[in-house]
A and B are shown apart, each in its own frame.
Chain A
Amino acid sequence: MKTLHKIVLTVFGWSLIWISLADAGEARKRISSTANDYSNLSDIEAEIRFGRDLSARILGNYKLLKDEKKNKYIGLIGTGLAQYAGRPELKFYFGILETDEINAFAAPGGYVFITKGALAQMENEAQLAAVLGHEIAHVVKRHVVRKLNIKGDQGSATGGFAGMIGGATGSFREAFEHSLLEAEEILFTKGYKIEEEIEADQFGILLASAAGYAPDALRDFLIKCKRFESGNPKTDSEHPPHEIRIRKMNETLQAEGLLNGSNAKMRNRFNDYIHK
C-alpha cells in the first residue's frame, strides 16, 4: 500500500511542478509578448506622431517633388499594395523626394518616400511596386519603432508624447529629439540591420506578388543599383551589401516557387507617368 502511495504521490507531485512551470512559462510569454507588441492605442498614436515629425524632417532635408501627377501615381501603387499589409490601423502616405540620390525611406506610422533618382533608374511599375513594398515592410514590421522603443506609455524614451502636448518638461523633449536623431541615423547613415533588410525584401516581394506584379522585380532593380554602389557613396546608403540581399532574394523566389511567376511589369504605364 505504501508503495502505491509513493507512486501516486510522485506522479501527482511531478505533475503539479510541471503544470506550474508550464503556466509560469506561458504567462511570461504572454507578458513579454504584450510588452513588445507596440500595438495598444497609445503606442500606435506615438508611432504616428513620431513618424510625422520624422517625415517633416525628411521633407526639410529634401524637397517634396512638385509634380502632382507623379506623386499621385506612386500614391496609387503604394495604397494598392498597402492593402495586403497587416497594419489596418495606419493610413499610408507616399511622396517623391526631389533629389538625384537613389534611395527610398519609410518613417514609422506609414510615411513612405522614394527619390526622383531612384525612379529615374527604374524600368517598370513592378520595380516601383517592389521598392514601395520593401518600404511598407519596414513600417509594418516596426523596425524603427522597435529599435528606438517608441511607445505611448511613460516608460519609453518617446513616452512623453502625451506630456509634450500638455506642456511637459524639457527632459521628455530631449528624449524625443534624441530618438528623432537616432531614427535619422538609421535612415540616412547607419541603415537597418541586415536581417531587417532581408525581411523587408521578402515582404516586398510577397506584397508585390500578391498584387499581381512580377515577383523578381525587386531583385532586378537591386542588380541594376549595384552598378552605383561603389561610385557614389550616398547611393542606397540605407542598405547592406547588395550581394547578400540578391542571394537571399533568389533563395526566396526559389523557395516560394516564384521564379516562373507573373510577368506583369507595366513598362509602358510606368514610362508614361515617370519618364515622360
Chain B
Amino acid sequence: MKTIDTIPELVKYCIIALLLAIFFFLIQTPLSGAEINKVMYIHSAKAPVYSRPNIQSEKIMELKTGMEIMILEEKGFWYQMTYQEIPGWIFKLMVRDTPPIETRKIDVTQLAELESKARKRPSAYTTTASARGLKTKRDRFASQYKNDFHALEKMESMVISREEADKFITDGMKNENTP
C-alpha cells in the first residue's frame, strides 16, 4: 500500500475519476439500452416483415397476433427485429411491448340498460349543465342532440370476417394487375 501513498494527489484523483467513469459506463449500458434486444409482441392480425425498412423491399414473412419478436434497432416508422432467428424489418405500429388481449365483447344486456339511461339523460343533463356553466357548449348541439341506437345496431350487425375482407382486397389487386 506504500506504493499508493507515494502516488501524487493529481494522479490519485485521475484514477478515481477513471474508475468511476468505467463503472458508470458498465452499469449504464443495460439500463438505458431499452430498444436493444427487447422482446415485443405482434398486435396486428397481419404483420408483414420486410428485408429492409422500406415497403418496396422483399416481403420475407407475415407474422400474426401474439407472436414474440426480438427488437434489435429502431429507425423511423420501423423496428429491425428477429423472429425465430429470421431477421427483418416491421412497422412499429403493429408491435407493442405487452402481449395482446383478445377482442372484447361487451355484455349487451348491460348496454341495453345503459342505453335506456342515455335516452333519458338529455333533459336531466340540460339542468345540471346550466348550473355548471356548460350550457353554451350544450346548446351548440342541442338542436341536433339525439341518439340513434337502432342505426348503430344495424351498423354493428354487418358481419364481415377477416378472410372475406382479405379475399375481396386480394381479388381486387389481382384484377387491377390483369391487363
The residues of A with any CB-CB pair to B shorter than 8 Å are 1, 3-4, 7, 10-11, 14-15, 18-19, 22, 26, 37, 39, 41, 44-45, 48-49, 52-53, 55-57, 59-61, 63-64, 71-72, 75-80, 82-91, 93-95, 111, 125, 140, 161, 164-165, 170, 173-174, 177-178, 181, 184-185, 189, 202-203, 206-207, 209-212, 215, 255-258, 260-261, 264-266, 269
Q: Is A76's CB under 8 angstroms from B16's CB?
A: no
What's the tally of chain B residues with a CB closer than 8 Å to chain A?
80
Q: Is B165's CB under 8 angstroms from A80's CB?
A: yes
Given contact pairs A11-B16, A84-B46, enumerate 17 new A-B contacts (beta carbons under 8 Å). A7-B16, A14-B23, A41-B104, A53-B114, A60-B148, A84-B44, A88-B43, A88-B101, A88-B102, A93-B156, A94-B158, A173-B124, A202-B77, A206-B77, A206-B93, A210-B46, A212-B173
Q: How far is the CA of A177 from the CA of B129 in the complex (A)?
A: 9
**Candidate in A22, A37, A60 with the most chain B CB atoms within 10 angstroms:** A60
Q: Is A59's CB under 8 angstroms from B106's CB?
A: no
With A64-B155, A89-B103, A93-B156 as given contacts, are A3 and B12 in contact (CB-CB < 8 Å)? yes
Q: Is B145's CB under 8 angstroms from A210's CB?
A: no
Q: Is B31's CB under 8 angstroms from A89's CB?
A: no
Q: Is B76's CB under 8 angstroms from A264's CB?
A: no
Q: Is A56's CB under 8 angstroms from B173's CB?
A: no
With A84-B46, A91-B103, A185-B137 as given contacts, are A174 and B94 in contact (CB-CB < 8 Å)? no
Q: Is A75's CB under 8 angstroms from B160's CB?
A: yes
Q: Is B166's CB under 8 angstroms from A165's CB?
A: no
Point out the residues of chain A lying under 8 angstroms from B128, CB to CB. 170, 174
Q: Which of B1, B5, B117, B147 contacts A57 (CB 8 A)?
A: B147
A11 to chain B, nearest CB (A): 5
With A80-B165, A173-B125, A202-B77 as given contacts, are A256 and B54 in contact (CB-CB < 8 Å)? yes
With A61-B144, A165-B113, A202-B77 as given contacts, are A4 and B1 in contact (CB-CB < 8 Å)? yes
Q: Which of B19, B125, B145 contacts A60 (CB 8 A)?
A: B145
A82 to chain B, nearest CB (A): 8
With A76-B169, A211-B169, A261-B56 as given contacts, are A84 and B94 in contact (CB-CB < 8 Å)? yes
Q: List 30 A-B contacts (CB under 8 A).
A: A4-B4, A7-B16, A14-B20, A26-B31, A39-B101, A56-B115, A56-B147, A60-B144, A71-B155, A76-B168, A79-B165, A84-B44, A84-B45, A85-B44, A85-B93, A89-B104, A95-B151, A165-B110, A174-B125, A174-B128, A177-B121, A181-B134, A185-B140, A209-B55, A210-B91, A255-B76, A256-B55, A266-B173, A266-B176, A269-B175
Q: Is B146's CB under 8 angstroms from A83's CB?
A: no
Answer yes or no: B10 CB below 8 A from chain A CBs: no
Answer yes or no: B47 CB below 8 A from chain A CBs: yes
A31 to chain B, nearest CB (A): 15
Q: Give the top 6 A-B pairs by smallest Cβ distance, nearest first.
A: A86-B43, A60-B146, A79-B165, A80-B165, A56-B147, A83-B45
Q: Is B173's CB under 8 angstroms from A164's CB?
A: no
A255 to chain B, nearest CB (A): 7
Cross-chain pair count, CB within 8 angstroms: 226
Mark out the residues of chain B between 93 and 125 whose CB falls within 8 Å of any chain A CB in the assembled complex: 93-96, 98, 100-104, 106, 110-111, 113-115, 117-118, 121, 124-125
Q: How far is the CA of A26 from the CA of B98 in the complex (A)?
A: 16
A129 to chain B, nearest CB (A): 8
Q: How far is the CA of A26 from the CA of B140 in the complex (A)?
A: 45
Majority-rule SS of B interface residues: helix
CB nearest to A29 among chain B residues: B34
Q: Is B152's CB under 8 angstroms from A52's CB?
A: yes
B20 to chain A, nearest CB (A): 6
Q: How far is the CA of A266 from the CA of B87 in the complex (A)?
A: 33
Q: How far is the CA of A109 from the CA of B46 in the complex (A)?
A: 20
Q: Is A269's CB under 8 angstroms from B1's CB?
A: no
Q: How far is the CA of A170 from the CA of B55 in the complex (A)?
A: 51
